[in-house]
């Protein structure tokens, strides 16, 4: 199954990466194993988002920057308004990074 | 702070990961389950510290991590997000690397000190190679119609859908330039002449009276410096119209002395101040006038001087001569346009219907215009490739009094962009995109399976609809550098033009020398221009405003 490493930048991914980093540094863990954990995280996170998350969000904002490079879209929005079912958030500047979902299904 | 769903999903993910790597830890001489538990403990502790997991963790099957293991010294627990590198935009290299970049890079263990240890054991098979995907995607999606087409209207069959499927890298760019320059030399440019409009939306639906009122309002009180209207459609009838009014015009301006010494002056006499109005009246549906008015204040300030110095000022009062001169140009323009043959064959068949209406040349070569009266293929392509700023009137309003592009070399604009790109955003959305489309300056994106970190909250989502309005100034800023280069290059190469500059996404060539540009010699200029364009390999819309 193909995975994105995209989610390693999320909070949970960063926490895992830091943890692995420390453990490898202290020689508790071999780097190879750390990689395997990360790869497993990629898979698990992708699956979880697909199967366990059903919420929808809408974002509106002023597009400050857009970039499409190597199948990755990057947007920087200004004054973005995030809305989901029960709440909305205003954000002065948000970066959106999106990979092509079709790459996963291939 | 963390929503319960986010928290539980995170916990599930942690569990899932731990369970699935357990075998690796226990078998094959792995470090054993204790290490695995330590890993889980630290991970969860960090997550709690980051506030994205609600403590206590309720675990179904998994036993709690040993309390001690969670208290392994951690140097930066309070800084879950350290900004700079983490938030860099991932490129495909980072997202699908042969060697994951996100991997912790600690000091290597003794004995395993080469970089190969970081290679993913499965090799590249787990990672789609973007290179291959590029090709297939583009093939599949090329020319896919956008869902955001304009709604039907009386003009709608003449419009092109301006949506661009921006998921596909543009490949048409090069062809456009070629086609625009080689196949349709003259008509191409001429049609673009009338193709720059800004206020078409409102003007299109103005009644005749309103249109005239507007034109008078703009041209009379302080309008000495603006010549607004160029009609390229149906020039013959245009002239006839003017001729019919000749007597009337003469009477109206009793003291006016016709100028007999030059070509085309007869017409221009007629045109005069009245002619300007009549010209518009004869084509009430043509809204391009609005555009030129908008530009007028910016562009044509020098016009009066030229005219007064050359001819009109000899025997007419200044104001009158100006008006006359303007009208003269108007007439000359329409006359010269009647002389310019269409060199690229008949107007395409699908548009035959529209030819009965006089708007043949009125299709809008400039991208992102709403009312594309007629679209020949070439401008169509241009539309696809180069978005133009829509609300250009903003710019007009801003620097009404100063010369255009006076602060051209101001680096601030570019600096801004750089800043924007390097700027670290605390708020981050990571997702997969299904579709990204753009209609004019409005972007719509459908994202899915994403994680947001917004206002220190983690939000997971299954689907996102994103609507974005392009900040026009940013867009222009982004385009500026390229066009500036082009403008400079053009100015060096095209002789006889008064000024070449960039305006938004357009490169504008402004001619002031009326005598040399119009009439038969106009062809030479355009050819020269096109030859330059052809060699300069520019990939964007070149729009010309030719003025005398």
The answer, for A86 touching chain B at a CB cutoff of 8 Å, is no
Nearest to B459 among A57, A66, A101 (CB): A57
pLDDT for B179: 42
Q: How far apart are CA B385 and CA B379, in angstroms?
A: 10
- Say what the pLDDT of residue A105 is: 72
Out of A38, A62, A68, the one facing B468 most closely (by C-beta) is A62
3-state SS assignment for residue B342: coil
Determine the angle formed by the axes of helices A11-25 and B33-49, rounding to 10 degrees.
Answer: 140
Q: What Å distances lie between residue B304 and A6, B309, B319, CA to CA? A: 61, 8, 9
pLDDT at B50: 79
Three-state secondary structure call for residue A84: coil
Q: For residue A47, list chain B residues with Cβ-Cβ distance below 8 A.
A: 16
Domain ranges of chain A: 6-52, 58-105
The partner residues of B470 in beta bridges, in order of sequence, read A63
> Residue A72 and residue B95: Cβ atoms within 8 Å?
yes
Confidence of residue A1 (pLDDT cuts 50, 70, 90): low
Would an 8 Å CB–CB cutoff place B169 in contact with chain A?
yes
Angle made by CA atoms B319, B325, B329, in degrees to the nearest 5: 150
In this prediction, residue B307 carries a pLDDT of 34
Q: Which of B31, B425, B457 sits opposite A28 (nearest CB)?
A: B31
User: Residue B92 and residue A56: Cβ atoms within 8 Å?
Assistant: no
pLDDT tens by residue, B110-146: 444 444 444 444 443 444 444 444 444 434 434 444 4
**What's the pLDDT score for residue B344?**
66
A18 touches chain B (CB under 8 A): yes
Give dist(CA B274, CA B246) in Å, integer.
9
What are all long-range contacts of B213-217, with beta carbons under 8 Å and residues at least 24 apart? B214/B290, B214/B293, B215/B276, B215/B277, B215/B280, B215/B289, B215/B293, B216/B277
Closest CA of chain B from A86, distance in Å = 12
Q: Closest Cα of chain B to A58: distance in Å?
A: 5
CATH topology classification for A58-105? TATA box binding Protein, subunit D; domain 2 (2.30.18)
Higher-pLDDT residue of A14, B93: A14
Q: Are A82 and B52 inside 8 Å of each other by CB?
A: no
B451–A49 CB contact, under 8 Å: yes
Q: For chain B, which residues score pLDDT lower than 50?
A: 1-2, 60-77, 79-166, 168-256, 258, 260, 262-327, 329-330, 332-334, 336-339, 347-399, 410-425, 471-480, 497-498, 504-505, 510-522, 536-548
Shortest CA gap A45–chain B (Å): 6
A positions 23-82 inside 8 Å of B (CB): 23-25, 27-41, 43-50, 52-78, 80, 82
Q: How far is CA B397 from CA B228, B297, B416, B500, in A?
A: 17, 10, 21, 21
Q: Which of A54, A100, A104, A105 to mutate to test the interface with B (most CBs of B within 10 A)?
A: A100
Cα distances (angstroms) measured from residue B207 to each of A49, B15, B242? 56, 69, 21
Buried b (16+ CB within 10 A) or exposed e, B339-376: ebeeebeebeeebeebeeebbbbbbbbbbbbbbbbbbb
Q: Which long-range contacts (CB under 8 A, 24 or more apart) does A20-27 make?
A: A20/B39, A20/B103, A20/B104, A21/B104, A21/B105, A21/B106, A22/B42, A22/B72, A22/B74, A22/B104, A23/B35, A23/B38, A23/B39, A23/B42, A24/B104, A24/B106, A24/B109, A25/B104, A25/B106, A25/B107, A27/B109
Among B336, B220, B212, B214, CA closest to B273: B220
Q: Which helix (H) or strand (E) covers residue B442, if one does? A: strand B442-454
Q: What is the per-residue pLDDT for B399? A: 45
Q: Which two tokens stand for residue B194?
A: 């009338």
Assess contact for B482 and B413: CB atoms under 8 A: no
Query: Does B14 reach chain A within 8 Å, measured CB to CB?
Result: yes
Dihedral of CA B278/B279/B284/B289: which sign? negative
Q: Three-state secondary structure along B32-91?
A: CHHHHHHHHHHHHHHHHHCCCCCCCCCCCCCCCCCHHHHHCCCCCCCCCCCCCCCCCCCC
B368: nearest Cα among B232, B196, B206, B537: B196
Q: Which CATH superfamily is domain A6-52 in?
A: Transcription factor IIA gamma subunit, alpha-helical domain (1.10.287.190)
Quick one: B216 exposed, middle or buried, by C-beta within 10 A (0-12, 13-18, 19+)? middle
**Centroid of chain to Cα B376:** 20
In this prediction, residue B535 carries a pLDDT of 52
Phi, psi (rounded to 5 degrees) for B491? -60, -35
Nearest to B258 by CA among B269, B245, B274: B269
- pLDDT, residue B507, reads 53
From edge to edge, which strands make up the β-sheet containing B542-545?
B499-503, B506-510, B542-545
Interface of B with A in 117-136 (CB under 8 A): 117-122, 126-128, 130, 133-134
pLDDT, residue B408, reads 53
CA closest to A46 among chain B residues: B449
Fold match, A6-52 / A58-105: no
Instruction: Give me the residue label for tokens 């093939």.
Output: B139
Encoded tokens for B399: 């620097």
* Chain-chain contact of B100 with A78 (C-beta, under 8 angstroms): no
Give A-chain residues touching B431 at CB under 8 angstroms.
6, 96-99
ipTM score of complex: 0.89
Closest CA to A80 of A64, A92, A69: A92
At B215-249, the pLDDT tens digits run: 333 333 333 323 333 222 333 333 344 344 444 44
Distance of alpha carbon B155 from alpha carbon B147, whole angstroms: 19
Contacts of A55 in chain B (CB under 8 A): 5, 459-462
Between B2 and A64, where is the model more confident?
A64
Would you kindly state where each structural domain of chain B is located, as residue ranges?
A: 1-76
d(CA B539, CA B313): 43
């Amino acid at each position: 199954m193909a995975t994105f490493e995209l989610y390693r930048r999320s909070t949970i991914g960063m926490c895992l990466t830091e943890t692995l980093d420390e453990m490898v540094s202290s020689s508790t863990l071999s780097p190879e194993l750390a990689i395997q954990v990360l790869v497993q995280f990629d898979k698990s996170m992708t699956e979880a988002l697909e199967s366990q998350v059903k919420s929808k969000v809408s974002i509106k904002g002023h597009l400050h920057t857009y970039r499409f490079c190597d199948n990755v879209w990057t947007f920087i929005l200004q004054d973005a308004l995030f809305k989901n079912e029960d709440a909305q958030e205003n954000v002065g500047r948000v970066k959106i990074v999106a990979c092509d979902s079709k790459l996963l299904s291939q | 702070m963390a929503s319960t769903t986010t928290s539980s999903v995170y916990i599930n993910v942690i569990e899932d990961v731990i369970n699935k790597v357990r075998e690796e830890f226990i078998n094959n001489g792995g470090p054993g389950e204790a290490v695995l538990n330590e890993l889980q403990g630290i991970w969860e502790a960090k997550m709690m510290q980051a506030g994205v997991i609600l403590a206590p963790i309720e675990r179904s099957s998994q036993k709690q991590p040993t309390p001690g293991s969670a208290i392994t010294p951690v140097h930066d627990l309070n800084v879950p997000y350290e900004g700079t590198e983490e938030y860099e935009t991932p490129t495909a290299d980072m997202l699908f690397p042969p060697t994951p970049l996100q991997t912790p890079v600690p000091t290597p263990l003794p004995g395993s000190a080469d970089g190969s240890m970081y290679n993913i054991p499965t090799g590249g098979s787990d990672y789609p190679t973007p290179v291959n995907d590029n090709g297939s995607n583009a093939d599949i999606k090329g020319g896919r119609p956008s869902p955001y087409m304009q709604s039907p209207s009386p003009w709608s069959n003449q419009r092109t859908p301006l949506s661009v499927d921006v998921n596909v890298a543009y490949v048409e760019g090069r062809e456009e330039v070629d086609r625009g320059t080689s196949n349709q030399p003259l008509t191409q440019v001429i049609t673009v002449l009338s193709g720059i409009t800004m206020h078409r939306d409102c003007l299109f639906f103005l009644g005749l009276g309103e249109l005239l009122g507007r034109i008078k309002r703009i041209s009379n009180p302080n309008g000495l410096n603006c010549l607004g209207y160029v009609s390229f459609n149906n020039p013959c009838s245009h002239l006839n119209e003017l001729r019919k009014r000749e007597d009337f015009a003469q009477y109206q301006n009793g003291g006016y002395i016709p100028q007999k010494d030059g070509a085309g002056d007869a017409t221009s006499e007629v045109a005069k101040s009245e002619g300007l109005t009549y010209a518009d009246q004869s084509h009430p549906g043509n809204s391009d006038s609005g555009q030129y008015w908008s530009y007028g204040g910016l562009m044509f300030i020098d016009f009066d001087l030229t005219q007064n110095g050359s001819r009109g000022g000899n025997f007419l009062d200044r104001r009158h001569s100006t008006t006359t001169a303007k009208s003269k140009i108007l007439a000359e323009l329409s006359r010269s346009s009647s002389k310019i043959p269409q060199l690229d064959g008949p107007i395409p068949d699908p548009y035959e219907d529209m030819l009965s209406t006089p708007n043949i040349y009125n299709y809008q070569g400039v991208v992102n215009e709403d009312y594309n009266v007629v679209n020949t293929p070439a401008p169509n392509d241009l539309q696809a490739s180069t978005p133009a700023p829509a609300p250009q009137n903003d710019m007009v309003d801003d620097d009404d009094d100063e010369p255009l592009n006076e602060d051209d070399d101001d680096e601030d604009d570019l600096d801004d962009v750089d800043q924007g790109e390097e700027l670290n955003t605390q708020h981050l959305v990571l997702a997969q995109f299904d579709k990204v489309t753009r209609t004019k300056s409005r972007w719509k994106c459908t994202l899915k399976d994403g994680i947001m970190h917004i206002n220190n909250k983690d939000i997971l989502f299954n689907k996102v609809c994103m609507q974005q309005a392009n900040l026009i100034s940013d867009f222009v800023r982004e385009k500026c550098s390229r066009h500036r280069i082009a403008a400079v290059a053009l100015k060096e190469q095209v002789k006889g033009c008064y000024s070449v500059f960039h305006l938004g996404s357009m490169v504008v060539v402004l001619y002031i020398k009326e005598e040399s540009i119009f009439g038969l010699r106009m062809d030479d200029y355009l050819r020269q221009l096109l030859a330059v364009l052809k060699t300069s390999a520019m990939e964007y819309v070149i729009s010309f405003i030719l003025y005398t």
